[in-house]
Structure 1
């Protein structure tokens, strides 16, 4: 799915990892392939146990973008 943040179209992918049981909601900016990270929820865990995983090539992410993405991930996780 695509979401818009500050005039950028962000690819948002909701993945269930069958091997580990984790759910990952990934955010990538197609115009900047270095900007990619995921909110990861362990199998059977609640939202309070979610973590953020940055792609190794991602040098930094603005706080505003991270907060926006976390809100989007929470909406997706909670099915809103």
Structure 2
């Protein structure tokens, strides 16, 4: 038991790791998007539409906070 615990962990291969596609951290499943994702009535289309609506709402609020005080003064 003691000898097994004293072993150093195996090192990963020295080969260079594969490069991740651009924006992989932000959109990990972007490569899984297909034409069927946008078919009417699918769950993925509803999710996409909801996320776009939330993004648009956030954008409108941010722009209103920035520009509304300038317009009122």
The alignment's TM-score, normalised by the length of structure 2, stands at: 0.28
Larger radius of gyration: 2
Structure with the larger helix share: 2
Structure with the larger strand share: 1
Structure of higher RCO (CA pairs closer than 8 Å, 6+ residues apart)? 1
The alignment's TM-score, normalised by the length of structure 1, stands at: 0.26
